[in-house]
Amino acid sequence: MTTARDKAVVLLSGGLDSATVLAMTQDRGLDCHPLAVDYGQRHRSELQAARRVAEAAGTNLKVLKIDLRAIGGSALTDDIAVPETEGEGIPVTYVPARNTVMLSLALGYAEVLGAGVIAIGVNAVDYSGYPDCRPEFIAAFEATANLATKAGVEGRALRIHTPLIDLTKAEIIRAGSALGVDYSLTVSCYQADEDGRACGRCDSCRIRRAGFEAAGVSDPTRYSSP
C-alpha cells in the first residue's frame, strides 16, 4: 500500500531545474505527481515542455490555471521588456508571490493525494536574485504548511524537498544527465517563441548555456537565431 511518505507532488515548470527535480525525486523511489501552473506566463511554450517532461518520466501532469497577469509587475506576466542583462537588486523577471502561490496550490494537491512531500527546483546559487528561492523562504513555508493543514495538525508533517538548493547549474545538469534527463525537452528561456526556441540573450538563457559549458555537456537547447 502506498503511504503519504511514498508520494510527492513535484512542481514542474518545464524548465531544466524542475525536470531534474522530477528525476531526482523518482530516483528516491517516490510516487511522483507533477503539477504545472498556468499563471498567465508570456512564455507559454514552457507548459508544453512540462507536458513532454512528465510524459517522458511516465507520470501524469496536472495543470492548474490562475491569472497572475491580472496583478502584473513582472516581465514574465506584464507588458515589460525582458532585459538581456539584469541590473542591481531584484530582477524585473521576478513574478510577485509566484513561488508562494505555486507552493500553496501544491500543498492543497498534496493534502488531497495524501502526499508527504512537495518537491520544487528552487536554487540559492544560480537563482537570479529571486527572494522566493532562498532557504529561509522554504523553511518558513514548510512551517506554515504544517500549521495550516489537517495533515500537519494530525501529526503527518509535510516536507518541502529542495534537492537543488545548494547546487550550481553545472552540478544540476550533471546530476540530471546521470539520471537520463532529456534536456532537449525543456524550455528555460524567459521569452521563448511558440515553438519553444530560446532567445539566447536573456538571463535565463545565459545561466543555462554557461551551465552546460561548465558541466562539459552538449547543450541541446534550440535557439531562434544563431
77-124 pLDDT tens trace: 666 677 666 666 777 767 777 888 999 999 999 999 999 999 999 998
pLDDT at 2: 47
Backbone dihedral angles phi then psi of residue 16, each to the nearest 5 degrees: -60, -45
**Which of 39-53, 134-148, 171-185 shows the lowest mean pLDDT across its residues?**
39-53
Q: In the predicted model, what is the mean pLDDT of residues 133-152?
A: 93
pLDDT at 89: 73
pLDDT at 69: 77
**Which of 4-18, 102-116, 126-140, 148-162 shows the lowest mean pLDDT across its residues?**
126-140
pLDDT class of 42 with cuts at 50, 70, 90 = confident
| Chain segment 182-198, per-residue pLDDT in tens | 999 999 988 888 888 99
What is the C-alpha separation between 105 and 92, in angstroms, rounded?
24
- Kindly tell me if the per-residue pLDDT of 175 is higher than 70: yes
pLDDT class of 39 with cuts at 50, 70, 90 = confident
Q: For the chain, what is the mean pLDDT?
A: 89
- Kindly tell me if the per-residue pLDDT of 62 is higher than 80: yes
pLDDT class of 1 with cuts at 50, 70, 90 = very low
pLDDT at 75: 64
Backbone dihedral angles phi then psi of residue 64, each to the nearest 5 degrees: -110, 140
pLDDT at 97: 77
pTM check: above 0.85: yes
Nearest to 76 by CA among 37, 122, 43: 43
pLDDT class of 67 with cuts at 50, 70, 90 = confident
**What domains can you pick out in the chain, each with its CATH number?**
4-215 (3.40.50.620)
Nearest to 149 by CA among 2, 3, 4, 1: 4
- Of residues 100 and 63, more confidence is placed in 63
pLDDT at 88: 66
Grid coordinates representing 44 are: 507559454
